[in-house]
Homo-oligomer: A and B are copies of this chain.
């Protein structure tokens, strides 16, 4: 059966996840973006509409992350068809939740379905990474990989690309609180020092190892002790008013650990149950309120499935 149109949801993601700068990320169940891809008689990729972005995102196919990703996919499979895309942003931009990643992932998954699934899911990753290059200046995988593949992802290596899915305990729940300020990923990267003390790298490696061991052995105590970033977080918290209060509130409400989501300003916490994660969200929002920041709260178990095909028509 041939289809003319595919509507796909791709989830928001938390990148870095404490000590795992550039190498860890996991998917949420919500929020996320939706893309409707439609076969077109014209060649190439054209964006017909974007909703939910307040007019901020480019319709130009060479500047839009979803269009760039789909263009790469079409070239790779030597597609004869053209594609039009409708992008429905259902999550905040510049929030540290992988907004550009979710759009690119939803778009390539939709197009791949539409064309009869010429590639495996994981083979779509390089195209979405090119989308990230357009969106934030570097072809990072720590948002696109978990959005595309679901679950908790380790990017062991970028050259060559080596992606490892790490099973997570059933109860593990993420709380993400997004304050209504914007941090540009490029700015958040620019402030980072390019060299670090060897001793900090050793501490970070210990926590990276502890977090992976904690996830794989379902050891919540170890997950919590390991959810510490001694390198990037101390530099980036300057960009997030009230960070220390919010983190303190999260831990006080029972979170295993708490750090910056991606390049911020969103802050995430991990908890051992949905119930605790919900209480943690309330505490974090209240802490933002006390520094006069309005925020949105998302609570979600780790999303092990990734993108969802909503409709084919």
Contact = CB atoms under 8 A, between A and B. Distances in A.
Interface of A: 19-24, 154-157, 162, 164, 166, 192-213, 216-217, 222, 225-226, 231
Oligomer: number of copies:
2
A24 B21 CA distance: 20
Contacts of A198: 192-196, 231
A213 B166 contact: yes
Nearest to A164: B213
A123 B177 CA distance: 41
A156 B226 contact: yes
20 contacts: A19-B205, A21-B202, A21-B205, A154-B209, A154-B210, A154-B213, A155-B206, A156-B206, A157-B203, A157-B225, A162-B210, A164-B209, A164-B222, A166-B213, A192-B198, A195-B195, A196-B201, A208-B209, A212-B213, A213-B216
A211 B154 CA distance: 11
A211 B201 CA distance: 16
Contacts of A206: 23, 154-157, 162
Contacts of A23: 202, 205-206, 209
Nearest to A192: B198
**Interface core residue of A24, A196, A208, A211 (most chain B CB under 10 Å):** A208
A195 B207 CA distance: 19
Contacts of A222: 156, 164
A19 B217 CA distance: 21
**Interface core residue of A24, A199, A201, A225 (most chain B CB under 10 Å):** A201
A192 B199 CA distance: 11
